[in-house]
């Protein structure tokens, strides 16, 4: 019997795929790129990136020198973007010796250099959405218990289990099933193109604090709306933080 494959959807670095979505980027309302034929490129296994033909760029790029080499894409050239009355430094790069010929004259725009990205007419956050990632948020009756050094922090028979391709399942719990008095809000915020914006809590038990041990999507994106307002815990943050599901600790 062959070994069980845990994640068959890891994309090989250097993979290039023809994108099918219209993609646009803006900076302070100024259109930077408008492409109906972007290339979707995996420089790294899990997160894709858009590369654009020069004809789709709506701003001038000024070369600034050689950038770091990429193991998957080869040497890079860096560019600033010239917008109306201002310069956006480090806004783009090109890999003129990439293994895929179509990529050699295409430009990757630095995601954080521009304030608004859109796939079709919907804003997308953090990075492009991979066509191979699926998010399922499923109501469950599993018994989930969260403990820290033996102290029960949460006990729920009504979790929502979030399954996201390539990641371990996460158990989102109603706040009424959580010792919210043990959670201290922090300034930490993270963004996900599939779930939205998460805010975090520290977990304080017996004089010890586990930083950013729990999080919540208060207004998640549509595909994850079932976890809105629920609390998830991050057992990887501390060896004292444990989650059991039906009496067993989940395996990765």
Long-range contacts (CB closer than 8 Å, 24 or more residues apart) made by 21-24: 21/119, 21/120, 22/119, 22/120, 23/50, 23/52, 23/117, 23/118, 23/119, 23/128, 24/117, 24/118
**Closest by alpha carbon to 121, among 198, 24, 191, 209?**
24
pLDDT tens track, the chain, 252 positions:
455 555 556 788 899 999 999 999 999 999 999 999 999 999 988 889 999 999 999 999 999 999 999 999 999 999 999 998 899 999 999 999 999 999 999 999 999 999 999 999 999 999 999 998 999 999 999 999 999 988 999 999 999 999 998 889 999 999 999 999 999 999 999 999 999 999 999 999 988 899 999 999 999 998 899 999 999 999 999 999 999 999 998 875
Q: Is the pTM for the entire model greater than 0.75?
A: yes
Phi/psi at 199 (nearest 5 deg)? -115, 160
Q: What is the pLDDT of residue 1?
A: 45
Q: What is the pLDDT of residue 32?
A: 97
């Amino acid at each position: 019997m062959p070994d069980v494959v845990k994640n068959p959807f890891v994309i090989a670095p250097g993979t290039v795929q023809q994108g099918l979505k219209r993609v646009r980027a803006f900076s302070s309302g100024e259109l930077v790129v408008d492409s109906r034929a972007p290339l979707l490129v995996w420089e790294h296994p899990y997160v894709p990136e858009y590369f654009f033909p020069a004809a789709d760029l709506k701003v001038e790029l000024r070369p600034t020198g050689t950038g770091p080499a990429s193991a998957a894409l080869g040497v890079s050239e860096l560019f600033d973007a010239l917008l109306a009355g201002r310069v956006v430094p480090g806004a783009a790069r090109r890999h003129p010796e990439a293994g895929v010929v179509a990529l050699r004259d295409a430009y990757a725009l630095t995601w954080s250099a521009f304030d608004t990205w859109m796939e079709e007419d919907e804003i997308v956050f953090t990075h492009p959405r991979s066509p191979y990632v699926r998010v399922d948020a499923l109501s469950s009756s599993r018994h989930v218990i969260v403990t820290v050094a033996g102290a029960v922090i949460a006990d729920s028979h009504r979790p929502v289990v979030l399954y996201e391709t390539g990641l371990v399942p996460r158990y989102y719990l109603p706040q009424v099933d959580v010792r919210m008095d043990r959670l201290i809000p922090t300034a930490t915020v993270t963004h996900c193109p599939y779930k939205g914006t998460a805010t975090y809590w520290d977990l304080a038990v017996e004089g010890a604090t586990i930083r950013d041990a729990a999080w919540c999507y208060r207004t998640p994106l549509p595909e994850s709306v079932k976890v809105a307002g629920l609390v998830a815990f991050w057992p990887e943050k501390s060896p004292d933080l444990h989650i059991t599901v039906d009496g067993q600790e989940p395996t990765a």
